[in-house]
Structure 1
Amino acid sequence: MNWTAIAAIYRFEMARFFRTLLQSFVSPVISTSLYFVVFGAAIGSRIEEVEGVSYGAFIVPGLIMLSVITQAISNASFGIYFPKFIGTIYELLSAPISFLEIVIGYVGAAATKSLFIGVVILGTAALFVDLSIAHPFAMLAFLVLTCLSFALLGFIIGIWASNFEQLQLVPLLIVTPLIFLGGSFYSISMLPPVWQTIALANPVVYLISGFRWSFYGLADVPVAVSLFAIAVFTAICLGVIWWIFRTGWRIRN
Structure 2
Amino acid sequence: MADTLRLPEGDHVIQCQQVVRSYTMGDATVNAVRGIDLTIARGEFAAITGPSGCGKSTLLHLLGAVDVPSTGRVFVNGRDTATLNDAEATAFRLRHIGFVFQRFYLMPTLSALENVELPLAEAGMAKAARRARAAELLGYVGLGDRRSHRPTQLSGGEQQRVAIARALANEPAMLLADEPTGELDAATGERLLQLFGQLHRDGTTLVFVTHDTVVANTAQRVIRLLDGRVASDTRNSPA
Would you say same fold, with TM above 0.5?
no
Larger proportion of strand: 2
Q: Which has the higher helix share?
A: 1
Q: TM-score, normalised by structure 2?
A: 0.28
Q: Looking at CA atoms only, which structure, 1 or 2, has the larger radius of gyration? A: 1
